Amino acid sequence: MRLRNIPGSRERIAQSPYVIPEASLPEHRGAWREVFGSDRPIRLEIGMGKGRFLIDMARQNPDVSFLGIEKYSSVLIRALDKREECSDLDNLYFLRMDAADLTEVFAPGEISMIYLNFSDPWPKERHAGRRLPGPLFLDRYRQILPPDGQVRFKTDNTGLFAFAVESARSRNWQILSCTEDLHHDPQLCEGNVMTEYEERFSAAGHPICQLVLSPPLAAG
């Protein structure tokens, strides 16, 4: 998703109390709990889009801190519109950054869970390295998660889903659960929070796939 450039969006993002200033991101590496002023575990959504999932999750889980990463200011500004209506939430900040830079911003084990919701499929082979559930990104996620951390990926795109499963296998990630029809699996769907894309695609009759991973077991 890339929306038309919105004049003034960069300035508004720079002034928002809900967006961590871009230039300061590496300074928080290893100290993100201080940003929240709390020892709560920290979960990340990468490619949060318009942010509804994170706002609902933050509301339902006050004992967890949430960070939303989005590459484009024009998209982040939409999430900011919603965030500003929830000034009572003290457990949610947004970051405008590219997920390729994750390890420069987060220290080993600092993030307990990563959500990838309806990631862009990048269908052309020459763009495969940009797919967020791909092996290059799994290697980055492994560096910032603890051994019992999780990556939770949802999509309606069966090609991207198969690629994610194959990527996980190729990097020896543990597959904790895998379904190609989340909404009809009462056990796996329990507590599921829908994203904007999920609502749109499931309303159009697309089954929703979900893959839950944990990092590879240490050798020995």
Ligand X SMILES: C[S@@+](CC[C@H](N)C(=O)[O-])C[C@H]1O[C@@H](n2cnc3c(N)ncnc32)[C@H](O)[C@@H]1O
The residue from 197, 201, 208, 212 that contacts ligand X (CB under 6 A) is 197
**Of the candidates 80, 81, 168, the residue with the CA atom closest to the CA atom of residue 116:** 168
**Across-strand partners of 45?**
68, 115
Which of 113, 101, 116 lies closest to 29 in space, CA to CA? Answer: 101
Write down the catalytic residue from 56, 81, 120, 181.
Answer: 120
Nearer to ligand X, 47 or 133 (CB): 47
Selected from 178, 196, 206, 214, the binder of ligand X by CB under 6 A is 196
Residue 46 contacts ligand X per CB under 6 A: yes
Pick the closest to residue 207 from 177, 187, 185, 192 (CA basis).
185
Q: Is 37 helix (H, G, I), strand (E, B) or coil?
A: coil
For residues 65 and 195, which CB has a smaller minimum distance to ligand X in the complex?
A: 195
| Tokens linked to 130 | 């940009």
Confirm whether 120 is a catalytic residue. Answer: yes
Could you give the CA distance from residue 19 to residue 113 in angstroms, rounded to a whole number? 20
Q: Which of 106, 118, 141, 201 is in the footprint of ligand X by CB under 6 A?
A: 118
First to last CA, the chain: 43
User: What x-and-dash track marks residues 69-88 binding ligand X by CB under 6 A?
Assistant: xxxx--x-------------
90 counts as binding ligand X under rule CB under 6 A: no
Binding site for ligand X (CB under 6 A): 1-2, 46-49, 69-72, 75, 98-100, 117-120, 195-198
- Which active-site residues does the annotation give? 120
